[in-house]
Amino acid sequence: MRTGQATDQLTSGALRPSAKLLPCAPQTSFVAVSAAIASLTWTTPAQAHVKWFAPYIVGAPPQPLGATLTNVWFWTAIVLVLVFFLATLAFERLPAGQGVLDRMDRLTNPFWGRADDFMRVAIGTFFVAIYAVGGVYLTPDLATPNEWVSWFQLLIAGGLFWRKTMPLSALGIILLWALALTDYDLFHLLDYLALGIGVAGYLVLAASDRPGWFRHRFEVLRWGIAIALMWSSLEKFAYPEWFSPLVKEKPFLTFGMPEHVFVPMAGVAEFTMGFGLLWTPLVRRLSAVALIVIFLSAVWPFGRIDMVGHALIMSTIFLVALDPEREVHFVPRVKQALAGVPLGLATAMVVLIAGYWGTHRTIYGPEGDPEAVAAAAAMAAEGMATHSHNPEQPHGPMAAGGIGAPPDRGEEIQITGPAVDAPADHAVVAQEAATPDAAFDAMMATMHDMPDIPAASTGAVNADFLRLMIPHHQGAVDMAAIVLEQTDDPEVRALAEHIIAEQEAEIAEMETMLQELGAEPPVPPAE
């Protein structure tokens, strides 16, 4: 509901982009989240799926629910949301609240009269856009090697010109999702199922001659986008580490908010805004306006591919904001009662959280898929996020060699001459090497001379993890320093400088954490 590359992936010393993620993840900030919770003009992390910026292993076990339920920032966000929802609902029940809705109707009615035309154009444009991108199923996140899929997408767009063929286009959308199952796990594709069904349902109902069906066409769309948003938001609780690359590469998205605070509050913001799309008219429309602001702000830093990936979501949210419908369907008495807000939100969270964790457990087992767990452990050792449907291949449009990926720059970088001073003490061996290749080999050998401190050796998992990660990060700094002395390529130099700055900051942070734990720092190898 995500085109750059995660910095964490570079801690291994790799010098070319290796891929990312999906966007269905809006990029927000502390101010945005706070304002959103306080005024429903929130900004949660840009729904540019985190999946476009880092490899991710869906089969890895999710974080235990207890970690979320004991997180103070999660509950802080929940309380702020409830205050806002209750205040909005109470205001909506007053004549003044109805007056606000009347003014919104007068402003949006000229547009609402062409809502069906707008939605058909939006759906058609989306499928033409992904046809032009080529090699994807339903979003730039879902790559396919089958060229014919792109032509099928063009047929779906063509079917929107005639009312009688719109149901065929709807069937085509569902077929595309089913075809994606040949390349991706079911759990991975559940992100897209609700939205796909919502759009397909809209096309079927919009083409219907039955007034009772026709009048619910936009409601089906609204439910589809609401469930998609709520489901995808759960990633921030189940796999908070997936968002580290995004936060590190685009720190402005958090407005200075610490990652451990930002991620759970952003997850609550995204979930509750999706929930708000299903509530009373004023809550629904304000939620949609907030989401529009979030998605539009996310598109600019992430570019046109991100716009393509979010086009259907943004178009649907825009229509929700315009919708003048005042009648409340599905348990209207609950929605219109103040007590219904906490009850409804709690019910939605219980149902979807149980569905998310329960589906994962059913598909992969209580400990996760063994191969995925092994791959996740290996990636964690390299400082990467763990979010990929295929443990052996990066995922997403920016994956190395993937759709829209930058060309392999390996052959362009000719590094010659002796290596020079690297900023780390244990890089002395590398400095003495005659060539950069030898310097890299020597530096890696030096890293492997660091004490082997498996977690089981002390039982202090936190300290052992920090002691193992410090030399790993230092190795990335050393490699980047070697490259800085040997290449004039501006992109590689910028990347190396970024790695040094980021990794040295993280090394300092980990050393501080070791001191707080009262643990000894890692011992550098003898020179």
Per-residue pLDDT reduced to its tens digit, 61-97: 888 989 999 999 999 999 999 999 999 999 999 999 9
Parent domain of 120 = 7-374
State the DSSP code for 100.
H
Confidence of residue 503 (pLDDT cuts 50, 70, 90): confident
Residue 525 has pLDDT above 60, yes or no: no
Residue 439 has pLDDT above 60, yes or no: no
d(CA 505, CA 496): 14
d(CA 20, CA 140): 11
Q: Of residues 40 and 249, which shows the higher confidence score?
A: 249
In a domain, 264, yes or no: yes
Q: Describe the crossing of helices 166-180 and 148-158 by its angle, rounded to 10 degrees.
A: 150
Whether residue 212 sits in one domain with residue 306: yes
47 backbone dihedrals φ, ψ, rounded to 5°: -70, 20
Whether residue 351 sits in one domain with residue 247: yes
Residues of 445-464 as b/e, b for ≥16 C-beta within 10 angstroms?
ebbeebeebeeeeeeeeebb
Whether residue 163 sits in one domain with residue 108: yes
Answer for the pair 397, 129: CB distance below 8 angstroms, yes or no: no
d(CA 318, CA 311): 11
Helix or strand holding residue 26 (H, E): strand 25-26
Angle at 231 between CA 285 and CA 384, to 5 degrees: 125
Residue 8 has pLDDT above 60, yes or no: no
Whether residue 56 sits in one domain with residue 123: yes
In a domain, 396, yes or no: no
Whether residue 344 sits in one domain with residue 255: yes
d(CA 361, CA 367): 8
304 backbone dihedrals φ, ψ, rounded to 5°: -70, -35
Lowest-pLDDT range of 101-110, 161-170, 465-474: 465-474
d(CA 367, CA 59): 9
Q: Of residues 390 and 504, which shows the higher confidence score?
A: 504
Residue 239 has pLDDT above 50, yes or no: yes
In a domain, 522, yes or no: no
Whether residue 159 sits in one domain with residue 252: yes
d(CA 333, CA 23): 36
Q: Describe the crossing of helices 217-233 and 259-276 by its angle, rounded to 10 degrees.
A: 160
Indicate the number of domains in the chain: 2
* DSSP characters over 51-88: GGTS-B-TTSPPPPHHHHHT-HHHHHHHHHHHHHHHHH
Note the pTM of the prediction, 2 decimals.
0.65
Whether residue 306 sits in one domain with residue 201: yes
Three-class secondary structure assignment of 308-324: HHHHHHHHHHHHHHHCC
Answer for the pair 159, 336: CB distance below 8 angstroms, yes or no: no
Q: Identify the domain boundary among 348, 374, 400.
A: 374
Q: What is the pLDDT of residue 243?
A: 79
- Token pair in block for residue 241: 């580490």
State the DSSP code for 524.
P
In a domain, 527, yes or no: no
d(CA 322, CA 277): 12
State the DSSP code for 143.
B
Taking all residues of the chain, what is their mean pLDDT, rounded to a whole number? 74
Whether residue 333 sits in one domain with residue 207: yes
Q: In sequence order, what are the residues at sequence separation of 6 or more whose Cβ sits closer than 8 angstroms to the Cβ of residue 130?
A: 136, 138, 139, 140, 150, 153, 308
Q: What is the pLDDT of residue 490?
A: 67
d(CA 286, CA 289): 5
Q: What is the pLDDT of residue 465?
A: 80
Answer for the pair 150, 179: CB distance below 8 angstroms, yes or no: no
Q: What is the pLDDT of residue 301?
A: 65
In a domain, 304, yes or no: yes
Give me the amino acid identity at 139. T
Residue 464 has pLDDT above 80, yes or no: no
Selection from 430, 411, 104, 157 nearest residue 281 by Cα: 104
d(CA 21, CA 270): 18
Whether residue 363 sits in one domain with residue 290: yes
Whether residue 438 sits in one domain with residue 353: no
Bridge-partner residues for 70, per DSSP? none
- Token pair in block for residue 281: 């008219």
> Tokens 């979501």 map to which residue?
313
Per-residue pLDDT reduced to its tens digit, 331-367: 889 998 999 999 999 999 999 999 999 999 999 888 8
In a domain, 380, yes or no: no
Whether residue 119 sits in one domain with residue 54: yes
Q: What is the pLDDT of residue 519?
A: 77
Q: Identify the domain boundary among 374, 390, 411.
A: 374
Q: Identify the domain boundary among 342, 374, 406.
A: 374
Helix or strand holding residue 211 (H, E): helix 211-214
In a domain, 511, yes or no: yes
Q: In sequence order, what are the residues at sequence separation of 6 or more whose Cβ sits closer than 8 angstroms to the Cβ of residue 498?
A: 7
Q: Of residues 271 and 399, which shows the higher confidence score?
A: 271
Angle at 144 between CA 139 and CA 149, to 5 degrees: 80
Q: What is the pLDDT of residue 229?
A: 93
Q: What integer is the mean pLDDT of 208-219?
A: 92
In a domain, 479, yes or no: yes
Whether residue 148 sits in one domain with residue 18: yes
Residues of 121-136 as b/e, b for ≥16 C-beta within 10 angstroms?
ebbbbbbebbbebebb
